[in-house]
């Protein structure tokens, strides 16, 4: 489902509900007690902070968070425009804690950098994925780059990237961004 509808396109309440529903009863009780009350009674920002803190501390336990949990927390920070926190969490989960990222993880980081205006950093991340990851970018990965390049006024580079996509057969969802 994430390939067709990336997590950042889901409403924030649904992301939080999906995260909460995916927890075991024990984890829900722990999260609720650490958060001071039921996570479902908190504002989205309070819930994101509580979930982030729990995931941050759980990397040191036997029940480490899954990549999907990490992605959900990072994208929640992104959607709240807490870009620095999203980047810090990415590095903590995937670089320091050795949780293996997937393409969604990298797309979240790329999108965060593009929205911050750090298109060159996003391109370096893309190049890292191409050179080192056991997976290929999704069409949405290109969309983030192209949007970032267009927003930065770098139309020629956006067109070049679109042509690269065409050679790989991954361009259809991008035409709306370009137009």
Q: Do residue 107 and residue 82 come from a single domain? A: no
Q: Do residue 94 and residue 111 come from a single domain? A: no
With 0-12 CB in 10 A as exposed, 13-18 as middle and 19+ as buried, what is 116? middle
Q: Do residue 47 and residue 86 come from a single domain? A: yes
Q: Do residue 109 and residue 49 come from a single domain? A: no
Q: Do residue 26 and residue 89 come from a single domain? A: yes
Q: Do residue 86 and residue 124 come from a single domain? A: no
Write out the two tokens for 18.
């999906």
Q: Do residue 83 and residue 122 come from a single domain? A: no
Q: Which residues contact 75 (CB under 8 A, 6 or more apart)?
A: 7, 8, 15, 86, 108
Q: At what angle do helices 44-58 and 83-90 cross, to 10 degrees?
A: 20
Q: Do residue 11 and residue 86 come from a single domain? A: yes
Quote the number of domains for the chain.
2
Whole-structure pTM value: 0.71
When mean pLDDT is compared over 4-18, 81-95, 131-145, the highest value belongs to: 81-95
pLDDT tens by residue, 100-159: 999 999 999 999 999 999 999 999 998 898 899 888 777 777 888 888 899 999 999 988
Q: Do residue 10 and residue 56 come from a single domain? A: yes
Q: Do residue 75 and residue 140 come from a single domain? A: no
Q: Do residue 166 and residue 108 come from a single domain? A: yes
């Amino acid at each position: 489902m994430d390939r067709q509808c990336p997590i950042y396109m889901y409403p924030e309440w649904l992301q939080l509900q999906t995260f909460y529903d995916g927890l075991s009863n024990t984890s829900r009780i722990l999260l609720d007690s650490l958060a001071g009350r039921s996570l479902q009674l908190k504002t989205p920002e309070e819930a994101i902070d509580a979930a982030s803190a729990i995931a941050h501390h759980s990397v040191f336990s036997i029940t480490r968070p899954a990549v999907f949990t990490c992605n959900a927390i990072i994208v929640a920070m992104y959607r709240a425009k807490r870009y620095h926190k999203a980047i810090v969490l990415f590095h903590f989960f995937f670089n320091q804690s050795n949780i293996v990222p997937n393409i969604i993880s990298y797309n979240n980081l790329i999108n965060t950098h593009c929205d911050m205006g750090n298109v060159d950093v996003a391109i370096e991340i893309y190049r890292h994925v191409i050179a080192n990851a056991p997976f290929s970018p999704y069409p949405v990965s290109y969309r983030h780059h192209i949007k970032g390049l267009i927003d930065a006024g770098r139309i020629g580079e956006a067109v070049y990237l679109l042509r690269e996509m065409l050679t790989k057969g991954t361009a259809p969802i991008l035409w709306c961004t370009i137009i």
